[in-house]
Amino acid sequence: MTSTHSLPTPTNPGPFGHKQRKNFFFPEGKTEFNHGSYGTFTRSVQENMLRWHNRVEENPDRWVRLDLKPALDNVRSQLAGFMNCDKDELALVQNTTEGVSTILRSLEFVPGDRILRISTGYVAVNKAVDYICDFRKDVEIVEVPMVMPMTDHEIVYQVEKTVQDHIAMKDGSSIKLAMIDWISSVPAIVHPIKALIDMLKSYGILVFVDGAHAIGQVPVDLTFLKADFFITNCHKWLYSVRGSAVLYVPKRYQKLIHPTAIQGDYKSSFELEFSWKGTMDYSTILSIEGALEFRQQYGEDAIIHYSHHLALQGGQIMAQILGTNVMTPHDHQVGNMVNVRLPIKDINHPKIETPDYLIRHLLDKYNLFAPSYKHGGYFWTRVSSQIYLELQDFVHLGNVWKEVIADLNAEL
Ligand SMILES: Cc1ncc(COP(=O)(O)O)c(C=O)c1O
């Protein structure tokens, strides 16, 4: 591990900051503040993807019949090293949405089973839980209400209290599975994941971690975490091309789990079932190799340290410009995404209620975007930090939001 003294910081970015722009695709004048939604990749990663893409066309039979599986295997080995697990516990999928449905639709839920989820869970994930409950008799949701900010202790307490309240009802039902976020989307909060997993498992509940934002943003050690299931997008913070994610299924559950689209290898082995998803382009998934190569040049510690500290300092600068605050005073609950309060006088302002108004306004007038949302009675923006950003970008975004909100307030 590198000493933290020598790591790049927002005031001493070293190889990071605007120097990195050349490695990415942003044209002059475009600054990206929403890496968290879809990620982006470097030029070297795209080259890596194109190499795979071209190789297929040169000899499709050789590729599909002989070379594809070893190539996927190699990526799984690299990811296993990166996340400290066995490569045979990993399946490559296209995104978290697919990974979540893979597990939820494979598990057997019987009458009386309950699925615990958190109110701040990602909408598609929560809908996937809705779907399971809609199509199973007497399978219901137990939802944990969560309003941030909360300390780690309060988060664990709130989830545990919901479990205990459920048990106290003594209605014959029991919580079979809990879906929990490692880093939630909005608000963006790094949850005390290990404490949550341990607590939930102590009640005999299976734990499925939605780690869509985890890999590349926080160190991931799956052997330490001991989650029952885990999914993470590589196309968000790891820098692989969109459509690349990895699902973790420990061997003890593998016989139960099948891909969402069943193919000819059904019931052969976990590895074979997930090594072919029907005819498609596998180059996005394989670009994970290029992403890991790019990261190695700079070092994981350096990338994570810089982006995290830029999020912390950038968030404070924006809050100062706006005369507001960041959502959580707990720095370790911030990864690379920071939530900054927007000083709108009326959170039900008609333009905020108008679908797409702020998206168009920010993109058309300012050529930038950061998502905004209501939470806990306030209006917030979520800003993503990255190695290609600097503090001055946060100053710019703070001033843009100040102007946008002042215009909205003037209309009231
Ligand atoms: C917490 C969380 N879970 C799941 C997802 C879904 O990821 P994807 O669209 O790549 O499937 C997202 C996407 O932003 C997310 O933020």
Rounded CA-CA distance 164/36 in Å is: 34
| Mean pLDDT, all residues of the chain | 97
Report the amino acid identity of residue 99: G
Q: Using a 6 Å cutoff on CB, does residue 181 contact ligand 1?
A: yes
Mean pLDDT, residues 240-258 taken together: 98
Structure tokens given for 377: 């009675």
Facing residues of 218 across strands?
A: 215
Mutate to test the pocket of ligand 1, among 103, 127, 213 (most ligand atoms within 8 A of CB): 213
Rounded CA-CA distance 364/370 in Å is: 13
Structure tokens given for 316: 């404070």
The pairing of strands 140-144 and 229-233 is: unpaired
Residues of the chain with CATH 3.90.1150.10: 4-30+300-410
Rounded CA-CA distance 304/310 in Å is: 10
Report the amino acid identity of residue 394: F
Residues of the chain with CATH 3.40.640.10: 50-293
Give the pLDDT confidence of 326-378 residue by residue, as tens digits: 999 999 999 999 999 999 999 999 999 999 999 999 999 999 999 999 999 99
Structure tokens given for 355: 């679908």
Facing residues of 118 across strands?
A: 144
* CATH T-level topology, domain 4-30+300-410: Aspartate Aminotransferase, domain 1 (3.90.1150)
The model's confidence at residue 3, banded by pLDDT at 50, 70 and 90, is: low
Handedness of CA 272, 274, 277, 282 (dihedral sign): negative
The confidence score (pLDDT) of residue 218 equals 98
Select 50-293's CATH number: 3.30.70.360, 3.40.640.10, 3.40.50.300, 3.30.70.1560: 3.40.640.10
pTM score, whole prediction: 0.98
Interval between CA 212 and ligand 1 midpoint (Å): 5
Ligand 1, atom 12, residue with closest C-alpha: 212
The pairing of strands 113-118 and 140-144 is: parallel
Give the pLDDT confidence of 129-149 residue by residue, as tens digits: 999 999 999 999 999 999 999
Sheet holding 378-384, edge to edge: 337-342, 378-384, 372-375
Interval between CA 62 and ligand 1 midpoint (Å): 34
The confidence score (pLDDT) of residue 2 equals 52
